[in-house]
A and B are shown apart, each in its own frame.
Chain A
Amino acid sequence: EVQLVESGGGLVKPGGSLRLSCAASGFTFSSYSMNWVRQAPGKGLEWVSSISSSNSYMYYADSVKGRFTISRDNAKNSLYLQMNSLSAEDTAVYYCAREDQYCTEGICYAFFDYWGQGTLVTVSS
């Protein structure tokens, strides 16, 4: 059974830092790209960052570029998100999500087939 378990959330002051972790099990972690998606209180989903299976490519939403760093350790089946210079706008539940692909007519489209339960990050003084 695929399981994704996030941890590391909590209360942090504006300007502070936090490192989120996501422990993966039930699948070959090193074969999949992984993502972070966040959800502000009472709001919709916002893609944050993604990392390729082999650590070769990282992508970021404009809202976090330069402040957040995604990484992974395939030996430990773990995904991470280092968050610096946090502001109130970063307050959200952060989900890690596995990325799979659907290919048709030679073009492949990514979607998120498994999600964790999320970890809450609150940025407040």
Chain B
Amino acid sequence: QSVLTQPPSVSGAPGQRVTISCTGSSSNIGAGYDVHWYQQLPGTGPKLLIYGNNNRPSGVPDRFSGSKSGTSASLAITGLQAEDEADFYCQSHDSSLSTWVFGGGTKLTVL
């Protein structure tokens, strides 16, 4: 059971918008710790997608955006493309565990 909760899967047609939620608690996201998002394409290592809740590293398209409110965070992907099909993970810090924590991952399927 992951400390951060994500839906196991989401799907959308090309061109559509999808969101992936990441729900935490008062010891991590709710305590004010920032949330970061990673994309993992099949058979590869994770890639940083969003850091500090809503910042994109250089090279990440602006179709990807993040937000945070209360004890949750969300990743939004607009203009879905076939190459977006991947697993997505959120990450934050937990003060009770004194460690970095990840969500269980969400598999995005582009229909």
A binding-site residues for B, Cβ under 8 Å? 37, 44-47, 59, 61-62, 95, 97, 100, 102, 104, 109-118
Chain B residues with CB below 8 A from A97, complex form: 46
* Number of A-B residue pairs with CB-CB distance less than 8 Å in the complex they form: 61
- Structural contact, B45 and A118, CB atoms closer than 8 A: yes
Counting CB contacts under 8 A, is B27 at the interface?
A: no
Residue of B whose beta carbon sits closest to that of A109:
B34
Return chain A residues, CB-CB under 8 Å to B45.
Answer: 95, 115-118
- B101 closest partner in A (C-beta): A47
Q: Are B102 and A109 in contact (CB under 8 A)?
A: no
| B interface residue count range (under 10 / 10 to 19 / 20 to 34 / 35 or more) | 20 to 34
The secondary-structure label for the interface of chain A is: strand
Judge whether A115 and B105 touch: CB under 8 Å.
Answer: no
Indicate whether B48 reaches chain A with its CB closer than 8 angstroms.
Answer: yes
21 contacts between A and B (CB under 8 A): A37-B46, A44-B89, A44-B103, A44-B104, A44-B105, A45-B38, A45-B46, A45-B91, A47-B101, A95-B45, A100-B51, A102-B51, A102-B52, A102-B55, A109-B36, A111-B51, A111-B91, A113-B51, A115-B45, A115-B46, A118-B45
Give chain A nearest CB distance to B70 CB in angstroms: 17
Does B61 make an interface contact (CB < 8 A)?
Answer: no
Decide yes or no: A110 and B100 within 8 Å by CB, A44-B89, A45-B105 being known contacts.
yes
CB contact between B52 and one of A104, A112, A115 (< 8 Å): that residue: A104
Assembled-state Cα–Cα distance A104/B35 (Å): 13
| Chain B residues with CB under 8 A of A111 | 34, 36, 48, 51-52, 91
Contact with B93, one of A62, A109, A113 (Cβ below 8 angstroms): A109
Contact A61 B99 (CB under 8 A): yes
Cα distance A113–B99 in the bound complex, in angstroms: 17
